[in-house]
Amino acid sequence: MDDITKFLEPAIPEHHLDGPPLDAQEILRADPILPPQTLLETSDYVPAHKPIAISRYTKREFHDLEAEKMWGRVWQYASWTFDIPNPGDSTVYDNAGYSAVIVRQKDGSLKAFENSCPHRGRKLCTEDANIKQIRCPYHAFVWGIDGDCRWIPAAWDFPQFDRENLPLREVKVDTWNGFIFVNFDPDAKPLADYLGKMVDQWKGWDFTKTRYRAVTAGKACDANWKAVLDAFIETLHVTGTSKV
């Protein structure tokens, strides 16, 4: 039988475990091909190291507090500008009970609306599409892609409504480096202020001019969103789970 023990060895070469540890800057500066300056910059930010209660990952009550206090107030990535390049292109963003439909306007700008009919609250759009109008699938009220009401069926039965005063409620929308963000809080601070130093740190990469997509995949995980996200925002697991 072939010797398979070599395949069972740790992914990290032994010599990497000897001597004083190297920090990221030392590793980058030792590379024969010096990386972009942005990767060599450091931050004076020191995160807190206090333990986080497990209940924040497991309790429904904390999840509901996040929906009530956080998701309706923070900027969140919703789509990519290349996904809706043409007038009428639209995409639906859903999260924690909030829903928005983002539509490319005729002048190339973006508008986002609460994905809910002002009449009875029916969800207006359920999938990405190129649209000429937004039509409620319940009572057939119609809005233009600019959010203005175009038609009220049997208008004589709705004296409390008039088209001029029945627009779709807008959601804040903005872009950064090709990414589309929305915020359901009408009083939210500008996206650039929310992103802070990140804007300057990423100025060396212009994603608005480059597009490459090998595959798009999605998976519903039976887990709290923070547990899933935590696995993707740290790189410590790479040496343990990936062979080098």
Top pLDDT among 176 and 160 is at: 176
Contact of 133 with 124, CB cutoff 8 Å: no
Task: Evaluate whether residue 163 is within a structural domain.
Answer: yes
Neighbour count for residue 193 (Cβ, 10 Å): 10
Q: What is the mean pLDDT of residues 143-167?
A: 90
Task: Evaluate whether residue 19 is within a structural domain.
Answer: no
Contact of 142 with 149, CB cutoff 8 Å: yes
Which CATH number fits the domain that encloses residue 202?
2.102.10.10
> What per-residue confidence (pLDDT) applies to 7?
44
Residue 91 has pLDDT above 80, yes or no: yes
> What per-residue confidence (pLDDT) applies to 10?
46
Task: Evaluate whether residue 194 is within a structural domain.
Answer: yes
Task: Evaluate whether residue 1 is within a structural domain.
Answer: no
Task: Evaluate whether residue 200 is within a structural domain.
Answer: yes
Determine which of 77-81, 166-170, 195-199 has the lowest per-residue pLDDT on average: 195-199
pLDDT tens digits along 22-48: 777 788 888 888 887 777 777 777 777
Laid out side by side, the sheet with 89-95 consists of 76-80, 179-183, 170-176, 110-114, 98-104, 89-95, 129-130
Task: Evaluate whether residue 55 is within a structural domain.
Answer: no
Q: What's the structural domain count of the chain? A: 1
Task: Evaluate whether residue 236 is within a structural domain.
Answer: no
Boundaries of domain holding 210: 69-227
**Rounded distance between C-alpha atoms, residue 142 and residue 136, angstroms:** 6
> What per-residue confidence (pLDDT) applies to 80?
92
Task: Evaluate whether residue 7 is within a structural domain.
Answer: no
Residue 15 has pLDDT above 50, yes or no: no
pLDDT tens digits along 194-220: 999 888 888 878 888 877 777 778 888
Q: What is the mean pLDDT of residues 220-225?
A: 88
> What per-residue confidence (pLDDT) applies to 117?
96
